[in-house]
Amino acid sequence: MNGVIAHGAYLPHFRLPRRDLGAALGTSAGTGSRSVACYDEDATSMAVEAARVALCGVAVRPGRLYFATSVPPYLDRSNAAAVHAALGLDRAALAVDMAGSPRSAIGALLAAADSPDVTLVVTSDVRIGLPGSGDEREGGDAAAALVFGPGTPQTPVLATAVAHASSTDEFLDRWRVPGQAYSHTWEERFVEHLYRPAAEESFAAALKLAALTPGDIDHLIVCGLSSRSAQQFTRGSGVRPAAVSPTHNNLIGNPGAAQPALLLSDVLDRAEPHQTIALVSLADGATTVVFRTTERCRDRQPAAASLAAQINGPHRIVSYPTFATWRGMLNREPPRRPEPDAPAAPPAHRSAGYKFGFQASRCDACHQVNVPPARICYSCGARDQMTPISLSDVLGTVKTFTVDRLAYTPSPPMIAAVIDFDGGGRFRCEITDSAIDGIRVGTRVRLTFRRLLTTGDGVHNYFWKARPVNAEPRGSS
Amino acid sequence: MSSRGIRDRVAIVGMGCTPFGEHWDKSADDLLIDAAYDASDSAGIDVRDLDAFWLGTYMSGVAGLSLSRPLRLTGKPVTRVENMCATGSEALRAACYAVACGAYDTAMAVGVEKLKDSGFSGLTRHSIPGDGIGGTLGTTTAPANFSLLGPAYAEKYGVAREQLKDVFTRIAWKNHRNGAVNPRAQFRKEVPMETIARSPLVAGDLGIFDCSGVSDGAAAAIVVRAEDAYRYTDKPLYVKAMSVVSGAADGSIDPGYDFTTFPEVVASAQEAYRQAGVTDPQREVGMAEVHDCFTVTELILMEDLGFAERGIAWKQVLDGAFDRDGRLPVNPDGGLKAFGHPVGASGLRMIFEAWLQLRGQAPDSRRITDPAGKLGLTHNLGGGPGECVSFVSLVGTELSG
């Protein structure tokens, strides 16, 4: 069985304080905050960001990609293909969705653990609910990625899945018909009545397979959208209270399908060698996966930012009206500008290497970087002497910028900048995750994969934007 | 290889220009008919007797049919041309070159645009199937693209951003002042500097009053061989130079570009001066109509066209050098700012002002003081900083010796 050789968490830059949510709706919404995907993010774009964190500094190339989410941006075509393109994975690598429910994330994780290839699991979720609902209040937006593989001296196995067991049950705790934006839920007490035994069954079975007792567990992660069920199971699990891993729900909310991998990544950042981790997911029954950390579990790729760093790092508060607008719950007057054209399929495919993978080209004759990739070099005029070069991880500096109050954007005004990359290449793009006063000439920026907008016929227009490096948590530059 | 130009080979002998503005009750066809017949009437020639036609329109019609249909031209060569905001100038260039080469005795250039029918603010783009990322310009609007110039200029020449805003305001104030006395202009009211300075921001430091008027309009010119000119008018306007430069669109990809100049404008101006034998534009040019799509553009153009040394145009603007009674009147008709900017018509509207001023036909209320013997310059720009086409023409009332 493959082990975890890399992992990464991605938290969007915004938080909605529950106090503000309650104030806006005239209700009591509790304390803390939930994480909020920016207007230009969706499950796919956040999955790309989490995978970039996981793959940062990792030498191995995944041969498979499993993408799990409860909110696939597309149906009838795979969203994993966009993630695959944005990561620049090999054409021969399989990329498939496991979509529709938080349960699918556990399926993706187990399939990756069983996979004969180096396999990237990305899980991502944007949790929304009707205004005033528990889903809106308690949900969160995030993504997380795990890479399973046999390990190499440079990229060792950090933890191995030693056992897993499931129980499956058919019941209506929550459901959403395709096309609907919000889920329906049944009464919490009924749900608790079913989840606790399901979790206990899978937990007992997995521990038996691994020849462990609850007291042997060093880190217990309990996931599930029914937080009362999760708490009840946790209390009765027999695991030492000190070994119970925090869910961070108070600060970031519950990110549904992303929660298992997110919290596993969090624990792997803290775990010591030769520790035992039990990951219990309560969804349509329950699954328990037992991991054992290896001698080299602290040898994590150094450049990636941990979940803890992201939770405690820079973020911005979003107001409830803005949050509601971003999630499509508040239909605002559009700008008096034509709606931007939808990407046409053939040109979008021709430029996929650039549009999705941010592949530019370097001139073999004069070594200047051409963005986008060009046949004729802007600098020396050499024709068809180009070598592809990926710039998606290269930092840049703002040469000049402007605030466009006329442009068509779901969240005006648009901030646009001219960016010069370290090592050459210039790129004009939108700035995201930044207030107007967060940008100056000279501001250091990093690219981030975003959804520019969704056109009237439902095409998600993905492309890269830039965001200030100082808006990111420490340890990520 | 060499670009030789057509100095003094052709003359403009008739012009027409509709009022620019919100023509809710006129179609593009109506505006074309008005401008074409104004021009032919002023030359004393029947439109149907002209040999060839070039129609410039950015997005208000396709094909020569957009002109031959409303004018009911039969059996004539009619071609539609387009070069973004320099479209009107491109129509004139085609007509002049066609006559200069001897293919036709007479030709008409006409430009039209009907922008107000779209219901949108500002210019819109053609819809060409693409990958959805807007090319190297990205998805920003025209004012945002041009607003990149101000901060770069301020930084390079050590001008405070607030001081530069005063320069923008001074340019808008001047052009509105010129437009106020021009009956064809879209905006015919002076605007106080405080109103301009405090107008809501559109992009960067540019407010609403830093942007040209979105309008409808048409303008036309009739071109003949220079030696035939006096058959139509006793005051012909000779074409001294016409230059178009289309850039490599590398400003948005070349870290060497610094957003304080339009290299395409510099190149087209130098080429036009060379064609016309102009060695000192500040002395030899008596008036200029330049592409003030945004106030900051006019500032940059003063340096790119050689009307001011690098880094000091902002001071000369504040000193009034380019006012109607200044040392080199710029946009005496109000410019794009106050006259309005119906894209395909603007290049010909600029020539129309040179036609009126250099031939002494502008009314006393707005006549510039000393154009006699000097040249008129028109400058028309399409695109924006880093990616543009630039047109420069020079016209004069006298043949060179």
**HEC letters along B202-243:** EECCEEHHHECCCCEEEEEEEEEEHHHHHHCCCCCEEEEEEE
Distance of alpha carbon B282 from alpha carbon B286, whole angstroms: 8
- Phi, psi (degrees; rounded to nearest 5) at A385: -125, 60
Lowest model confidence (mean pLDDT) among A57-61, A172-176, A277-281, A324-328 = A57-61
If you search the block for the tokens 């405070």, which residue do you land on?
B160
Average pLDDT, stretch A404-408? 91
Minimum CA–CA partner of B154 in chain A: A400
Residues of B in contact with A403 (CB under 8 A): 144, 201, 203-204
Find the mean pLDDT for residues B119-141: 80
A420 touching B (Cβ < 8 Å): yes
From chain A, pick out residues whose CB is under 8 angstroms from the CB of B131: 343-344, 347-348, 350-351, 355
CB atoms B132 and A461 under 8 Å: yes
Alpha-carbon distances, residue B379 vs A42, A329, B222, B309 (angstroms)? 46, 49, 19, 18
State both tokens at A368: 């200047």
In this model, does residue A403 exceed pLDDT 90?
yes
Sort out which chain B residues have CB atoms less than 8 A from A341's CB and list them: 127-130, 132
Catalytic site residue B341? yes
Pairing assessment for the beta strands A14-17 and A33-36 based on DSSP bridges: antiparallel
The whole-angstrom distance between residue A367's C-alpha and the CA centroid of its chain comes to 35
Looking at every residue in chain B, the average pLDDT score rounds to 95
Q: What is the pLDDT of residue A474?
A: 64
Q: Which of B56, B33, B47 is nearest to B76 (CA)?
A: B47
Q: What confidence tens digit (pLDDT) does each residue in A61-110 have?
A: 999 999 999 999 999 999 999 999 999 999 999 999 998 899 999 999 99
Of B23, B176, B291, B341, the catalytic one is B341
Q: Given CB atoms, is B294 within the 8 Å cutoff of chain A?
A: no
* B85 labelled catalytic: yes
Instruction: Give the per-residue pLDDT at A476.
Output: 43
The helix (H) or strand (E) run that includes residue B316 is helix B313-319
User: Helices B343-358 and B87-100: crossing angle, nearest 10°?
Assistant: 60
Res A234 pLDDT > 60: yes
The region that residue B363 occupies, defined by phi over 0 for left and psi between -120 and 50 for alpha, beta otherwise, is: beta
At A464 the three-state DSSP class reads strand
In this prediction, residues B274-288 reach a mean pLDDT of 96
The Cα A322–Cα A47 span in angstroms is: 23
Which residue in A332, A258, A325 sits closest to A38, CA to CA?
Answer: A325
Are B138 and A379 within 8 A, CB to CB? no
- Which residues in chain A have Cβ-Cβ distances shorter than 8 Å to B122? 337, 406
Contact predicate A34/A89, CB 8 Å: no
Q: Is the pLDDT of residue B371 over 80?
A: no
Shortest CB distance from B131 goes to which of A336, A355, A429?
A355
Percent helix, strand, coil in chain B, to 5, is 40, 20, 40
Rounded to 5°, the CA angle B25-B30-B36 comes to: 145
The pTM is what?
A: 0.94
| Minimum-distance CB partner of B124 among A338, A344, A402 | A338
* C-beta separation of B181 from B77 below 8 A: no
Collapsing DSSP states into helix, strand and coil, what is residue A193? helix
Question: Are the beta carbons of B253 and A461 separated by less than 8 Å?
Answer: no
- pLDDT digits over A370-384, tens only? 999 999 999 999 999
Separation CA A308–CA A413 (nearest Å): 31
A91 touches chain B (CB under 8 A): no
- Asked if B129 and A346 come within 8 Å (Cβ–Cβ), the reply is yes
pLDDT, tens digit, for every residue of B309-326?
999 999 999 999 999 999
Cα–Cα dist B384/B262, whole Å: 8
SS3 of residue A291 by DSSP:
strand
Backbone angles phi, psi at B275, to 5 degrees: -60, -40
Rounded distance between C-alpha atoms, residue B307 and residue B328, angstroms: 8
Which site among A402, A414, A432 would you substitute to test the B interface, given the most B Cβ atoms closer than 10 Å to its Cβ? A402
CB contact under 8 A, A348 and B131: yes
Rounded to the nearest 5 percent, the helix, strand and coil shares of chain A are 30, 30, 40
Q: How confident is the model at residue A424 (pLDDT cuts 50, 70, 90)?
A: very high
Q: Under an 8 A CB cutoff, do B121 and A337 touch?
A: yes
Judge residue A197's burial from the number of C-beta atoms within 10 Å of its C-beta, 0-12 exposed, 13-18 middle, 19 or more buried. middle
| Encoded tokens for A268 | 């792997």
Whether residue B152 and residue A414 make contact (CB cut-off 8 A), yes or no, is no
Strand ranges (DSSP E) for A283-358?
285-293, 316-317
Which residues is B288 bridged to in the sheet? B330, B377
A430 touches chain B (CB under 8 A): yes
Tokens matching residue B257: 């570009």
Size of interface A-B (CB pairs under 8 A): 135
Query: CB contact, 8 Å: B151 with chain A?
Result: yes
B residues 116-135 near A, CB within 8 Å?
118-122, 124-125, 127-134
pLDDT at A477 over 60: no
d(Cα A163, Cα A254) in Å, to the nearest integer?
A: 25
Q: B106-114 and B52-56 as β-strands: parallel, antiparallel, unpaired? A: parallel
pLDDT at B244 over 70: yes
* Beta sheet of A316-317, edge-to-edge order: A33-36, A14-17, A316-317
CA distance A457 to A469: 34
Q: How far apart are CA A140 and CA A250, in angstroms?
A: 10
pLDDT of B313 reads 98
Q: Which residues of B277-294 are buried (b: 16+ CB within 10 A; e: fewer)?
A: ebeebeebbbbbbbbbbb
Q: What is the pLDDT of residue A333?
A: 86
Q: Are B329 and B322 in contact (CB under 8 A)?
A: yes
Q: Is A454 at the interface with chain B, CB within 8 A? A: no
Query: Would the CB atoms of A416 and B137 count as touching at under 8 Å?
Result: no
**Which chain B residues are Cβ-neighbours of A412 within 8 angstroms?**
none
Q: What distance lies between CA A14 and its chain's CA centroid?
A: 14
Could B132 and A406 be called an inter-chain contact, meaning their C-beta atoms sit closer than 8 Å?
Answer: no
**A441–chain B Cβ distance below 8 A for any pair:** yes
**Element spanning A195, H or E:** helix A188-210
Q: Which of B130, B248, B254 sits opposite A343 (nearest CB)?
A: B130
Q: Which residues pair with B21 in a beta bridge?
A: B216
Is the minimum CB–CB distance between B143 and chain A shorter than 8 Å?
Answer: yes
Mean pLDDT of A263-288: 97
Cβ B120–A338 below 8 Å, yes or no? yes
| Chain B residues closer than 8 Å to A463 by CB | 132-133
- A387 or A303: whose pLDDT is higher? A387
Q: Is the pLDDT of residue B287 over 70?
A: yes
**Which residues of A are less than 8 Å from B208 in CB distance?**
none
Q: Where are the beta strands (DSSP E) in B44-150?
A: 52-56, 78-81, 106-114
Task: Summarize pLDDT for A19-39 with one digit per residue, the tens.
Answer: 999 999 999 999 999 999 999
Contact A337 B122 (CB under 8 A): yes
CA B256 from centroid of its chain's CA atoms: 28
pLDDT score recorded for residue A408: 87
Report the percent of chain A where pLDDT is more than 70: 98
- Asked if A382 is an interface residue toward chain B (Cβ–Cβ < 8 A), one would say no
Residue A326, amino acid: W
pLDDT band at A338 (very low <50, low <70, confident <90, very high): confident
pLDDT of A16 > 90? The answer is yes
Range B340-345 average pLDDT: 96
Question: Residue with structure tokens 């605007």?
Answer: B191
Q: What is the pLDDT of residue A302?
A: 59
Residue A475 — very low, low, confident or very high, per pLDDT cuts 50/70/90? low
The shortest C-alpha distance from B359 to chain A (Å) reads 41
pLDDT of residue B299: 98
> 344-373 in A: which are within 8 Å (CB) of B?
344, 346-348, 350-351, 355, 370-372
Within 8 A by CB and 6+ apart from B390, the residues are: B86, B244, B245, B247, B262, B264, B265, B267, B268, B269, B379, B380, B381, B382
Residue A470 has pLDDT above 90, yes or no: no
Q: A403 and B201 in contact by Cβ < 8 A?
A: yes
Q: Out of B85, B96, B293, B388, which one is annotated catalytic? A: B85
User: Which residues in chain B are closer than 8 Å to A340, comparing Cβ atoms?
Assistant: 132, 134, 139
Preceding omega of A413 cis (within 30 degrees of 0): yes
Partner A contacted by B102 (CB < 8 A): no
